[in-house]
Each structure stands twice: as structure tokens, then as C-alpha cells.
Amino acid sequence: MAFVGSAISKIVASVATLQNETTFSLSSLNLDFTLIKLEAPIEYKGVGNNIYSARKHDAEAEGLHKTARKLGALFDGKASIAVALFRAYGTRVSQLCEVERFNPTERSRHGLFSKHVGADSTSIWAAVTSGDGAVAIHLLPCMIARIFTGPQAVSL
């Protein structure tokens, strides 16, 4: 009889150990939300259509996108979301990206520099595919640079 009692206590102990291991492994589950790419609003389609493919990949999947997602999440709710401003900004940026002088379509004639020709809208595309919070944080330094002089803007 003592043998049966001892066997049951060992089974109970092993079940408790199994539960601890399961709980431990579930607590170490880590979700990297920076890998999530959002669909760009229609106002920004001109940017997406005219950005160089390597820059677009950088903006959607590399470090710049991760930084934009983290900043957007960090300041989510802190920066005011001005929908009309975002639409106007997207429309204007798309118009500028479609201008041949700023963003030439025939890049191959520039040889070694073909990857660097045209408007570098990587940070804009990274912010747009990261959410409204990231767009707000992207616009903040743009506005600071326009309002203040160079040394004042840098000190902020």
C-alpha cells in the first residue's frame, strides 16, 4: 500500500513539473510587432510607385521600418493625429515623386550611381507603412526644421 501512495505522489509531482515547464515556455513567447507592414493610404501611392526597389525593401522590411514602427508605437497617442494634414502631405509628396526632374525614370544612364538617383523617400515610405503614429513622428522634425533656424532645430 505504501508503494501505491508513493507512486501516486511521484505522478502528481511529475504533472506539476510538466505544468511549470509549459508555463515557463509560454512566458518567454516574444512577438516582434516591428515586422508587421501596413498598407499605405491611397494618397501615398505615388511615393510607392516611384521609389527605387532597394529603397522600398529597406523601408518595408529592414531597420528603417523597424525604427519607424517602434517610434510610432512609442508615441502612439502622444502625437496628435491630423488626418487632413496626413492626406495633404501624402498628396503633395506623391506629386513631387512623380515629377521627372526630381525622380528620373531612366536611372540606368547614371551608371554606378543609378541606385542613388532620384528622391530618397525611404523614410516617408517607412513611416507610411508603419501607421499614423509613425507618420506624425516623421512630420515632427520636418516641421521643426522649417520653423527654427539650423542651430535651434538641432538643439531641439
- Mean per-residue pLDDT over the chain, rounded: 76
Q: How far apart are CA 57 and CA 139, in angstroms?
A: 21
For 96, the grid coordinates are 513631387
Residue 3 main-chain phi, psi, to 5 deg: -65, -40
Q: 75, exposed or middle or buried, with CB in 10 Å at 0-12, 13-18, 19+?
A: middle
Tally Cβ neighbours within 10 Å of residue 60. Answer: 20
pTM attached to this predicted model:
0.68
Nearest to 56 by CA among 128, 7, 111: 128
For the segment 111-118, the average pLDDT, to the nearest whole number, is 71
Domain ranges of the chain: 1-30, 33-155
pLDDT tens track for 79-98: 677 888 889 989 998 988 88
